Amino acid sequence: MAILDGSKLTRNAAGRMVPEIANGHQQVPYLGVDKNRPTGNKTGPPIRTANDYPADGDKRFVDLETALRKCGLRDGMVISSHHHLRDGDRVALMALEAAARIGVKGLTWFPSASFPSQKSVIELMDSGVIDHIEGSMNGPLGDYCTQGKMRGMGVLRSHGGRWQAIQDGEVHIDIAVIAAPTADPFGNCDGSHGKSACGSLGFALADSIYADHVIAVTDNLVPFPCVPWQIQGNNVDYVVTVDSIGDSSKIVSGTTQITRSPDRLRIAELVALFLRDAGVMRNGFSFQAGAGGIALAFVSYLKRMMKEAGVKARFVRGGSTKYLVELLEQGLTDYILDGQTFDLDGVRSIASNPRHVATSPFTSYNYNGKGNFASIVDAVVLGATEVDTNFNANVVTHSDGRLLHGIGGWQNCLAAGCTILAVPSFRDRIPVIVDEVTTLCGAGELIDVVVTERGIAINPRRQDLIDAVKGSKLPFRSLPEIKAEVERICGGKPQRPKRSDRPVAIVKWVDGTVLDSVWRVG
């Protein structure tokens, strides 16, 4: 289907060639930032009746395979899962392998993200059980996609875009399988307690609300009521208990160490200094930083500066880590608004501190709503694989064209008051600042500042920021200037990937339009 689908291409408002149809669904090409107007109404799942569910609230079911059969699993259905257990998750594979045993074909797997530990899904795609993945593909699964081996077309969405697609009915989830670190027999689920605790379960919320059928899978069953109920049992059909939903050593995975690279520490410090000098760091401000090494180091620098200046944040957004938890516990922020919980300190905090609040992509990121938290945040610090001299950026592919990363909340965060990309100017002797990004994930007009170890570039559109840092001694430079220096060091521009004319995945913008294509490589 993918080859047929991708055969008709059109040029979108960003000048990118994108397929008109993907996986049989007509697509709307990207129209520009804030240009697409949604129509119609949100979708609704089938109306159920309590008469079909056990009066005593006990929805436990013998095993996942039987539950999938009971949900009417058949060829071509969409099965969803969440990635709060990250590279430690076992439940998504359990469900997909059970589907294989049942003998169905042509499924769409709709994870909020997929990870290297799930690479055996490749066998399920080879054998036709799974047609394609709609969702972030980290590592081998993305590689498989760019090799052109996936039958259907990959669809990459931001966390907010995933909510939007479900809410708007673009993606109809037939069966959601929700890994639950704690659950009760009614199906109330909590991520913040249990041996496989992962903190928030926000990525699974849309699935639980909108899917036709919902199966909760837990390794920690508690008597009703499971409190807090991050997922409501009122949306759950079956509860399945298993020995283990994941490998807890990998649930809190390895992205939560502060970088030790002097260059990256320098970048982190420059970001913090920029926010201070630009006056963004002031009483009552807010910021978001993820769990990468640079972002963590940035929080550490910023914290020191906040203490020195006697400044307190109103809220910080995460990916929560011990660095954000320290801010909360030391009174340097009123709240953590948590999208996902990255380490054990985060889990402990969200389980016990009412000021550490679980959020969902609806709350934080959904563009097709009545606003969301992302645009309220004063400053956000993000990464990128490539940035061009117009501040356009890429987060999903490398310069060799391989799809190796998901979008996460990256696109959604571009709505913040001050969007900063904190990137090394080159990686493995390949320049990060380029003439044209391999894959466009976010328009330069939304990216305000690029901070590298070689200097800070402010987007000329942000005259207010340029004015704000007048007199600052920070190393401000233009992107072309940094780029030229890096090309001298690296011996030239990155090699353009040898790519075919066949799109293997599309990158959605936050409003559901198609921003760019990922092409088969080689």
**What minimum distance in Å lies between the beta carbon of 222 and its own copies?**
10
**What minimum distance in Å lies between the beta carbon of 361 and its own copies?**
10
DSSP H or E run through 346: helix 344-352
Please report whether residue 32 would count as binding its own copies according to CB under 8 A: no
**What minimum distance in Å lies between the beta carbon of 183 and its own copies?**
14
Please report whether residue 315 would count as binding its own copies according to CB under 8 A: yes
Identify the burial level of 481 via C-beta atoms within 10 angstroms of its C-beta, where 0-12 means exposed, 13-18 middle and 19 or more buried: middle
Q: Which is nearer to its own copies, 115 or 373 (CB)?
A: 373
Q: Single out the residue of 115, 102, 112 nearest to residue 70, CA to CA.
A: 102
HEC secondary structure over 55-66: CCCCCECCCHHH
Pairing relation of β-strands 433-434 and 238-241? unpaired
Q: Single out the residue of 201, 292, 206 nearest to residue 245, CA to CA.
A: 201
Contact yes or no for 120/153 (Cβ under 8 A) = no
Q: Single out the residue of 11, 132, 139, 112 nearest to residue 397, CA to CA.
A: 139
Q: Which is nearer to its own copies, 205 or 302 (CB)?
A: 205
Instruction: List the one residue from 5, 134, 237, 269 that touches its own copies (CB under 8 A).
Output: 237
Residues in the interface with its own copies (CB under 8 A) total: 64
Please report whether residue 190 would count as binding its own copies according to CB under 8 A: no
**What minimum distance in Å lies between the beta carbon of 48 and its own copies?**
5
Please report whether residue 101 would count as binding its own copies according to CB under 8 A: no
User: Rounded to whole angstroms, how far apart are CA atoms 449 and 456?
Assistant: 7
Q: Which is nearer to its own copies, 125 or 306 (CB)?
A: 306
Cα of 422 vs its chain's centroid, Å: 17
Contact yes or no for 91/217 (Cβ under 8 A) = yes
Contact yes or no for 205/360 (Cβ under 8 A) = yes
Please report whether residue 357 would count as binding its own copies according to CB under 8 A: yes
Q: Which is nearer to its own copies, 164 or 438 (CB)?
A: 164
Interacting stretch for its own copies, rule CB under 8 A, among 12-20, 194-202, 253-261, 354-362? Answer: 354-362
User: Rounded to whole angstroms, how far apart are CA atoms 98 and 62?
Assistant: 13
Q: Which is nearer to its own copies, 12 or 366 (CB)?
A: 366
CA distance readout (Å), 349 to 155, 315, 337? 34, 15, 12
Please report whether residue 49 would count as binding its own copies according to CB under 8 A: yes
* x/- letters, 241..280, toward its own copies (CB under 8 A): ----------------------------------------
Please report whether residue 61 would count as binding its own copies according to CB under 8 A: no
Please report whether residue 195 would count as binding its own copies according to CB under 8 A: no
Interacting stretch for its own copies, rule CB under 8 A, among 100-108, 124-132, 223-231, 382-390? Answer: 223-231
User: Rounded to whole angstroms, how far apart are CA atoms 82 and 87?
Assistant: 11
Please report whether residue 366 would count as binding its own copies according to CB under 8 A: yes
**What minimum distance in Å lies between the beta carbon of 405 and its own copies?**
25
Please report whether residue 106 would count as binding its own copies according to CB under 8 A: no
Instruction: List the one residue from 367, 410, 426, 519 that touches its own copies (CB under 8 A).
Output: 367
Instruction: List the one residue from 4, 15, 34, 120 that touches its own copies (CB under 8 A).
Output: 34
Cα of 282 vs its chain's centroid, Å: 28
Give Rg (Cα) of the chain. 22
HEC secondary structure over 408-443: CCHHHHCCCCEEEEECCCEECCEECEECCCCCCCEC
**What minimum distance in Å lies between the beta carbon of 298 and its own copies?**
22
β-bridge partners, 214: 176
Instruction: List the one residue from 30, 115, 186, 274 that touches its own copies (CB under 8 A).
Output: 186
Contact yes or no for 504/154 (Cβ under 8 A) = yes
**What minimum distance in Å lies between the beta carbon of 370 and its own copies?**
5
**Which tokens hold the place of 314?**
């109103």
Instruction: List the one residue from 128, 148, 369, 497 that touches its own copies (CB under 8 A).
Output: 369
Binding positions for its own copies, rule: CB under 8 A: 34, 36-57, 59, 167-168, 186-187, 214, 223-225, 227-229, 232-237, 284, 314-315, 335, 337, 354-355, 357, 362-363, 366-373, 375-376, 415, 417, 511
